[in-house]
Amino acid sequence: MIRDMFKSLLFSDARLDQRSHEEMVAQLTLKLHKDGSALKKGELDAFYESNFNVAPEIQKKVKEILTATAKMVKASFTNSDSTFSKNKFNRGKLHNLWDVIRIIEHQNDYKIQDYKGMFTWFLEKDAEFTNKSKKVTEEDRHELSYTYWTKTYNNSTFYRKTQHIFERAFLEEVQELVAAGIVKKVRTGQHSFTWKQKLELYIEQGKVDRKNVPITALELYANPPLIEAGHVISFKNGGEAIVPNGELQRKSDNRSQGSKDLQPHFDYQQPETSQ
Amino acid sequence: MINDAFDVKEKRKSLRQLARMYKLTKLDPSFQRMGGVNNGSGWSIAHSNEYLQDLYKGFVSNTVILLHVADCLKYAKEENDKESILYYQNVSDEGYEYVSVDGNNSTSTIYEFVHGHPELKINGRLLEDLPPGEMDDWLGDEKLNVAILRRISIKDACDQFRKVNKQTKLNDQEHRQARWSALSMFIRNTANS
């Protein structure tokens, strides 16, 4: 699936036999292994020389990024006789696409739902940025030209600039992408309350719930839980897992609340959304 | 060039014998370049034809280097080298008797010529158009050196591959991947999945 992706986007069979795609995977792995590393010959040689292996979490992320890319390519021209025109794509653009997937799924906790839609969004942004670059003068190209940054994708100064403009574009349009079903927010550990936060909520609430029913310390330790920490502004509406947005509730109350917001009840509750 | 510690057995093999051995030889992409007539990192048809022409005129003296799988497996067991045991056992289970270290392009060219590849020619003529008796004699009489390594770990075999290919200019990524490590395996397996 991944080899086919490279074949569809960039490389002939001969280039695959010459390991061009493996070099790109090595660059991606190095980028995740050592953030800010250049991706040129010297850095890649040193990466192989000094590492017998890379951490499992890096391997997992590399595979996730490549798999997402393969899904985008596979979804691109279904129900059509056309295929992706590889002479219009290049290595720099593929690195940009990988950065975009990383920004979405690993750095901002969204999951791509519609791979064709996401690939189309990426290509639209690429076209917009490329078009803007036409007006950039030679002396400003380091600072302002997306085309130049893409061409010099193996230089960290420039791939960081590309990452920055794609992340900004994504965050500006994320609500529309969510509404269109292209991405959805993923609930991770960061969106749940920690044990320490639960103990803090217990004290802040005066050891009672909003119905003024006492909560005992023993109940906090129950497994399966009797007491849960819920969001005042729900996760779905952008509420964060921070004490001013939290509240200990009986499990049944928390579950019946679903994704609805609560009115602030306790003095410490000053919820804000993250979006 | 090859360390005697690897228990090297050198023999002269006829072109016909080399063609037979080629089918019993594994070209392992985990550390080898994808050389050979039908692979993208091998010689071009023009290069293969040039080699055949030189071979026919008797100007060729390259050595083919192979690992002998059964002997290397036995050695790995003696050394309790688990990585090598696993590797050689797998290669043996796949039905190969040898692993290629060097000379794959030449043996591939000889094999393809003997089996009537439609673009491989000597003096501009395909095998089927050359005098049969003369060709029969040539394929049986012309010989190349074959060095068979019998006591070598897979890690040392990779190092050996890198050394012997210094002159033939592996490209940068081929050189990096010709290293026995979990990283190189991860990169190869992931990129080709």
> Cβ A48–B34 below 8 Å, yes or no?
no
Confidence at residue A275, expressed as pLDDT on a 0 to 100 scale? 46
Q: What is the pLDDT of residues B48-69, one digit of tens each?
A: 888 898 888 888 777 898 999 9
Q: Identify which has the larger pLDDT, B40 or A153.
A: A153
Phi/psi for A52 (5° steps) reads: -75, -30
Q: Which residues pair with residue A239 across a beta bridge?
A: A273
Strand partners, A248: A229
Interface test with B, best of A12, A22, A63, A91 (most B CBs within 10 A): A22
Nearest to B29 by CA among B19, B45, B42: B42
A33 contact residues in B (CB cutoff 8 A): none
The whole-angstrom separation of Cα A219 and Cα A245 is 21
Alpha-carbon distance B135 to B128, whole Å?
10
Determine the pLDDT at residue A150.
Answer: 96
pLDDT the model gives residue B3: 67
The minimum CA-CA distance between A129 and chain B, rounded to whole Å, is 29
Do B186 and A18 make contact, defined as CB atoms within 8 angstroms? no
Contact B189, B30 (CB under 8 A): no
Which among A1-5, A77-81, B101-105, B123-127 has the top mean pLDDT?
A1-5
User: How many CB pairs below 8 A link A and B?
Assistant: 86
Checking if the pLDDT of B4 tops 80, the result is no
Give CA–CA dist A58/A55, Å, rounded: 5
For residue A62, list chain B residues with Cβ-Cβ distance below 8 A.
190
Contact B24, B146 (CB under 8 A): no
> Can you give the pLDDT at residue A138?
85
Which residue in the set B33, B187, B193 is minimally distant from A29, CB to CB?
A: B187
Closest of A155, A136, A125, A148 to residue A40, by C-alpha: A155
Beta bridge partners of A229: A248
Q: What gap in Å lies between CA B62 and CA A239, rounded to an integer?
A: 71
Is B173's CB within 8 Å of A23's CB? yes
**Chain B closest-CA separation from residue A118 CA (Å):** 22
CA atoms of A8 and A13, how far apart (whole Å): 11
pLDDT digits (tens, 9 = 90+) for B143-153: 999 999 999 99
Of the candidates A17, A44, A53, which has its C-beta nearest B176's C-beta? A44
Give the pLDDT confidence of A157-196 residue by residue, as tens digits.
Answer: 999 999 999 999 999 999 999 999 999 988 766 678 889 9
- CB nearest A18 (choices: B40, B184, B192): B40
Percent of the residues in chain B that have a pLDDT greater than 70, as a whole number: 90
Identify residue A172 by its one-letter amino acid code: E
Cα–Cα dist A151/A159, whole Å: 10
pLDDT at residue A236 is higher than 90 = no
pLDDT at position A58 is: 95
Range of B132's domain? 4-191
Q: State what percent of residues in chain A have pLDDT above 90.
A: 71
Among A228-232, A263-267, B181-185, which is the least confidently predicted range?
B181-185
CB B151 within 8 A of CB B72: yes
Which pLDDT belongs to residue B6?
Answer: 79
Query: Structural domain tally of chain B?
Result: 1
Side-chain-side CA neighbours of A199 within 13 Å: the count stands at 5
Contact B131, B91 (CB under 8 A): no
Q: Are strands B25-26 and B98-102 parallel, antiparallel or unpaired?
A: parallel
User: In a mutagenesis test of the A interface, which of B190, B192, B193 is the best target, namely the one with the most A β-carbons within 10 Å?
Assistant: B190
Check if the beta carbon of residue A239 is closer than 8 Å to that of residue A247. Answer: no
Three-state DSSP class for residue B115: coil
- Backbone φ and ψ for B94, nearest 5 degrees, come out as -75, -10
Is 60 exceeded by the pLDDT of residue A37? Answer: yes
The pair of structure tokens assigned to A93 is 């653009």
Is the pLDDT at A273 greater than 70, yes or no?
A: no
Judging contacts by C-beta atoms under 8 Å, the chain A residues touching residue B171 are 18-19
Helix (H, G, I), strand (E, B) or coil at B91: helix
Tell whether A62 lies on the interface with B, counting CB pairs under 8 A. yes
E strands, chain A, in order: 110-112, 183-185, 227-231, 246-250
Lowest-pLDDT choice from A73-87, A203-217, B162-176: B162-176
> Tokens in use for A26?
């090595």
Are A132 and A146 in contact by the 8 Å Cβ rule? The answer is: yes
pLDDT of A29 above 90: yes
Residue A224 to residue A226: CA distance in whole angstroms: 7
With CB atoms and an 8 Å threshold, state whether B172 touches A53: no
